């Protein structure tokens, strides 16, 4: 009895201690929450005060300068150079509002008889430390903090060496998993911020419903507005979770065009009702999700603005009437690059900049001539074509964006963060998982995927390239070949391009007859300014003849997924959608049966398969 009384007393005392501790713990939590709220309110008050004071002391010229968003190349640049002096002029004299980060470029000679060259510039990836140091120097030169941006559609590695090459949107759409979109947004924005870039010009929210779209294509999440909306919102939230800004592009929709606006002016003739049902749906979702910025498109839409030849970038009915007034978007509006032929070949640089601002943009992005753009806007303000109230409203939005990013407190770039956050194993694992899950098996008529060939089989691998030059992402099959060789040691590899001769085609056919199995990696690009997105008839004929042999065969289409529609006779076709080491590795694993195959088409393949089609295979 005494023992039971002691036990009961112990239980009661323990209960009293817990009861007594609970209010103390709750009080501590409440106090911490109150302190955090007070700190947040103070930060907001300080930011508001900075915006008010900064705006009040700016001259009209300084305000106009804020509307210009110039660019840098991420290549080594001496402070004692003509190019840095030009950038310093933009910061000190024009007072530009920000800079966009490109990779680097190599000038090409204008010569005949060499198909590799042809004039212009060859795009190259840039160096992250160079980007960080140039941005840091420019930030130190600028009276007002600079906003910075990058087209990190495939992650920072799309532009800069050493970062993680994420898949573009269509791979993510093929997974059907919003968590994959969120994770990609986190990785891309984390690496962007490490080099001092605070605005990601992503995601592309265009609905790609035109199989001959030469510039959007796999940059889109897909053909279904609902799928595009879900994935875009998840990607936006991933970017924003790092403190960076996300950008929805290209308003009001670039998915149903067959003209590359880098090369010409595209027109979409759909009525407003159709635009509301398709093109505008993801933009409305992005705005509802709180997207920070929207980029305009250089596309003419007569249903939204009947003025002949005026693209959305220069249209007040579209950017102010629809985007601002109707859709209630209150964030930043960027033009697309003003160097694109759809603008630069149709309008003078000064008039284009002025008309874009008049239309309602906050930032004139990448003008061919920032000085001319400045003069054009200033002249339009002086003439009363652009009201000072509109300029003030844009500049206030810009300053508030800079304050939200904390740039009024700390604008400097710490290069130490690059080594810690760029190209990490954890980020690589995210990229690999998305690519693995995006692999889509659309045909397997002989039930030979995974490849029905023993590990000691003689396997022929054909690396089929649309054309041989201009591979800024790295040479195709550089990962596919060693990954296949790990699994099939007796591997013979051949590259087939637009330069392959008739006699070489005959040699390939002869080798295919002697092989036990054949794998084809088909690489067809969607690239700005190229105007190309097909295989040659000779390449198609080769694949058809090799596949007709009675032996295991599988083709993997990297890049343009609509390539499959050129190859209806092939018995087994997988889609990888992308160009990257991660995509090639995923394809090799899928062919070997090491990962399950479960991707679903986020687009329809005309004459072949509907949206959502995709065969499934379990891992062996």
Cα dihedral 386/392/397/402 (nearest 10): 120
Establish whether 262 is a catalytic residue. yes
CB distance 334 to 67 below 8 Å: no
Helix 388-404 to helix 349-359 angle, to the nearest 10 degrees? 80
Q: How far apart are CA 345 and CA 356, in angstroms?
A: 15
Check 151, 305, 336, 581 and give the catalytic one.
336
Q: How many helices (H) and strands (E) does the chain have?
A: 20, 18
Q: How far apart are CA 18 and CA 25, in angstroms?
A: 10
Q: How far apart are CA 71 and CA 64, in angstroms?
A: 17
Cβ atoms within 10 Å of 569's Cβ, excluding its own: 12
Cα dihedral 607/611/617/619 (nearest 10): 130
- Nearest alpha carbon to residue 153 among 605, 466, 579: 579
Check 100, 254, 262, 349 and give the catalytic one.
262
Give the SS3 label for residue 219: helix
- Nearest alpha carbon to residue 414 among 577, 117, 196, 91: 196
The DSSP string of 323-346 is IIIIT---SEEE---TTSHHHHTT
Q: How far apart are CA 108 and CA 115, in angstroms?
A: 11
Q: How far apart are CA 262 and CA 250, in angstroms?
A: 13
Establish whether 366 is a catalytic residue. no
Q: How far apart are CA 150 and CA 129, in angstroms?
A: 15
Reported in sequence order, the residue ranges of 395-482 that DSSP labels E, i.e. its strands, are: 440-444, 459-465
Give the SS3 label for residue 54: helix
Contacting residues for 500 by C-beta, under 8 A, at least 6 apart: 538, 539
Whose tokens are 């040699």? That residue is: 507
**Residue 430 structure tokens:** 């995210």
Which residues does the annotation mark as catalytic? 262, 336
């Amino acid at each position: 009895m005494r023992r039971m009384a002691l036990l009961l007393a112990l239980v009661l005392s323990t209960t009293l201690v817990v009861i007594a501790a609970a209010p103390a713990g709750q009080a501590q939590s409440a106090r911490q929450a109150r302190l955090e709220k007070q700190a947040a309110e103070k930060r907001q008050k300080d930011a508001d005060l900075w915006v008010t004071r900064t705006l009040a002391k700016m001259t009209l010229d300084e305000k106009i300068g804020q509307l210009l968003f110039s660019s840098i190349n991420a290549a080594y640049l001496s402070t004692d150079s003509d190019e840095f002096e030009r950038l310093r002029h933009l910061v000190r004299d024009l007072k530009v509002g920000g800079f966009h980060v490109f990779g680097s470029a190599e000038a090409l000679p204008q010569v005949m008889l060499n198909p590799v060259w042809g004039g212009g510039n060859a795009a190259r990836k840039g160096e992250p430390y160079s980007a960080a140091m140039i941005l840091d120097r420019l930030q130190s030169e600028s009276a007002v903090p600079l906003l910075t941006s990058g087209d990190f559609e495939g992650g920072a590695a799309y532009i800069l060496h050493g970062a993680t090459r994420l898949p573009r949107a269509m791979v993510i759409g093929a997974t059907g998993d919003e968590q994959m979109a969120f994770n990609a947004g986190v990785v891309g924005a984390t690496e962007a911020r490490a080099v001092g870039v605070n605005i990601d010009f992503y995601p592309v929210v265009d609905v790609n419903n035109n199989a001959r779209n030469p510039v959007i294509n796999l940059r889109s999440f897909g053909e279904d507005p609902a799928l595009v909306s879900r994935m875009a919102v998840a990607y936006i939230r991933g970017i924003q979770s790092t403190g960076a800004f996300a950008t929805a592009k290209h308003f009001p929709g670039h998915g149903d065009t067959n003209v590359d606006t880098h090369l010409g002016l595209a027109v979409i003739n759909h009525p407003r009702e159709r635009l509301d049902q398709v093109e505008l749906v993801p933009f409305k979702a992005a705005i509802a999700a709180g997207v920070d910025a929207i980029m305009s498109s250089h596309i003419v839409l007569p249903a939204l603005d009947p003025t002949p030849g005026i693209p959305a970038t220069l249209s007040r009915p579209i950017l102010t009437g629809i985007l601002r007034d109707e859709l209630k978007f209150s964030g930043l509006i960027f033009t697309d690059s003003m160097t694109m032929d759809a603008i630069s070949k149709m309008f003078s640089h000064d008039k284009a900049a002025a008309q874009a601002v008049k239309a309602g943009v906050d930032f004139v992005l990448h003008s061919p001539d920032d000085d001319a753009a400045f003069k054009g806007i200033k002249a339009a303000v002086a003439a009363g074509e652009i009201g000072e109230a509109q300029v003030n409203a844009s500049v206030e939005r810009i300053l508030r964006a800079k304050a939200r990013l904390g740039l009024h407190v700390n604008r400097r770039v710490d290069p130490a963060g690059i080594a810690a956050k760029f190209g990490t194993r954890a980020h690589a694992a995210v990229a690999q998982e998305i690519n693995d899950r995006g692999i889509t098996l659309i045909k397997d008529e002989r039930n030979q995927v995974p490849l029905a060939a023993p590990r000691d089989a003689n396997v022929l691998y054909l690396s089929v390239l649309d054309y041989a030059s201009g591979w800024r992402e790295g040479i195709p099959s550089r990962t596919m070949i060693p990954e296949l060789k790990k699994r099939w040691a007796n591997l013979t590899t051949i590259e087939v391009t637009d330069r392959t001769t008739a006699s070489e085609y005959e040699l390939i056919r002869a080798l295919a007859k002697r092989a036990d199995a054949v794998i084809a990696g088909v690489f067809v690009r969607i690239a700005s300014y190229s105007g190309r997105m097909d295989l040659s008839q000779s390449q198609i004929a080769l694949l058809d003849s090799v596949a007709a042999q009675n032996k295991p065969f599988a083709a993997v289409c990297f890049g343009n997924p609509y390539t499959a529609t050129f190859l209806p006779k092939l018995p087994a076709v997988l889609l990888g959608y992308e160009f990257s080491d991660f995509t090639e590795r995923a394809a090799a694993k899928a062919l070997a049966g090491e990962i399950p195959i479960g991707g679903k088409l986020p687009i329809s393949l005309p004459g072949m398969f509907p949206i959502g089609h995709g065969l499934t295979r379990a891992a062996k």
